[in-house]
Homo-oligomer: A and B are copies of this chain.
Amino acid sequence: MNEQLKYYPLEEIENYKVLGRTNEDRFPLALFWNNSGIEVNVDGSELWIDLEVGNDFFEPWVASELNGALMSRQMLLEGEHSICLFRSMIKGVKKNVKFYRELQALCDNLNCHVLVKGFRTDGNFLPVEKGRVNIEFLGDSITSGEGTYGAVGDAEWLPMYMSSSRNYANMIGHNLNADIRLVSSGGWGFYSGWDNDTRHTIPSVYEKVCGISTGPVNEALGSLNDYDFSSFETDAVVINLGTNDASAFDQPAFDVPGVGPKKLRRNEDGTLNEDDCDMLSSAVCDFLKVVRKNNPKAHIVWCYGMFGCELGLTISRGVSKYSMETNDRNVGYITLANTGENEYGSRFHPGLVVHEKAAAVLTDYLKQKLHI
């Protein structure tokens, strides 16, 4: 045991960077979303992170990166944990460590949570440089990294199959040396969830810290607080939504409590119902207005196509509608390559290679738009 280790509660540490949306002034620090975490530069020989964790049927997974390279990935269960992030390294040399949540935020009243209480080290906490740009990613299971771990054919809906360590948003963060924040939830859409449940939309929770996570545990952690957009002034917002809205056309009606049955419809010839598409285009337009309100300087790009592209025209119409109504030119629509036959990961979702291709295209696009 390294007797020189000293415990530092987070509130006493001057230098660290919060990763992801949370209530930054509360201690311990709650990690709500995937890729939410904490980044430090430490010059000690050893570093531990102290956590408080809860779980139900679903448990959180976490990962750590050392100097930008993935080092560990593991399941966390109920309790207080002190996890060693590195040891036996040369003292006096700066090491950059990111510790973050792999598992997306979970909706409904669940106890699954990860709280960062502090660190133990024999060194100092050095300043952490800001990224070159700030990028927010809004998405669904793709942005939650579903399918990026696990065997092809594995089909159960479980936390271990999701990640931020292998997802395109994290890759773009590395490519651009960007700080990133993710707001994503598997099965959710911009107008409707995959099953026509119109309550499950990112727009409905966009202005909260983590509006997805309800119930006493999460609310006590401030999940439903208004999100302070000034805490992370974005240079770009990447919206990767539409996959589940498309699915809803092939699902039965959903009886939304207090609203009644909802259903996106196909025509008899199998094509998409025009009125429903118009409604979706308007939803795209409306959401962009909200995103712009909160991100005045950001380039906003809606990207689509990694996992089917049937709503391509509908979404691009919505983006154009927004642009024309508001005369906002700092917005774009791009398509990403679809998942090829041999490119699936677990859970019939886009595999690692699809994320790599999307990251390459978006990296190039953002470089040009952000002039970096």
Chain A interfacial positions (CB closer than 8 Å to B): 57-59, 66-75, 77, 84, 86-90, 149-151, 153-154, 156, 158, 160, 271-272, 274, 277, 305, 309-310, 312-313, 316-317, 319-321, 323-324, 327, 329, 331-335, 337-338, 340, 346, 360-361, 364-365, 368
| Cβ distance A153 to chain B, nearest Cβ, rounded Å | 7
| Cβ distance A132 to chain B, nearest Cβ, rounded Å | 18
Of residues A59, A88, A319, which shows the largest number of chain B Cβ atoms within 10 Å of its Cβ?
Answer: A88
In the bound assembly, the distance between CA atoms of A365 and B313 in angstroms comes to 13
**Contact check: which of B75, B309, B333 meets A368 at CB < 8 Å?**
B309
In the bound assembly, the distance between CA atoms of A334 and B151 in angstroms comes to 31
| Copies of this chain | 4
Q: Provide a sorted-by-A list of 13 A–B residue pairs whose CB atoms are within 8 angstroms.
A: A66-B154, A66-B160, A67-B150, A67-B153, A68-B151, A72-B74, A86-B160, A89-B156, A89-B158, A274-B329, A277-B329, A313-B329, A334-B335
**What residue of chain B has the Cβ atom nearest to residue A267's Cβ?**
B329
Contact B90 A150 (CB under 8 A): no
In the bound assembly, the distance between CA atoms of A323 and B278 in angstroms comes to 11
Contact B72 A77 (CB under 8 A): no
Which residues of the partner chain B approach A331 to less than 8 Å between Cβ atoms? 313
**What residue of chain B has the Cβ atom nearest to residue A312's Cβ?**
B332
| Cβ distance A369 to chain B, nearest Cβ, rounded Å | 9
| Cβ distance A286 to chain B, nearest Cβ, rounded Å | 16
In the bound assembly, the distance between CA atoms of A149 and B66 in angstroms comes to 10
In the bound assembly, the distance between CA atoms of A7 and B89 in angstroms comes to 37
Q: A71-B160, A72-B75, A75-B87 are in contact. List 17 more A-B contacts (CB 8 A).
A: A57-B88, A66-B160, A67-B150, A71-B73, A72-B74, A75-B84, A89-B156, A90-B156, A277-B329, A310-B368, A312-B334, A313-B320, A313-B329, A313-B332, A317-B320, A333-B335, A340-B364
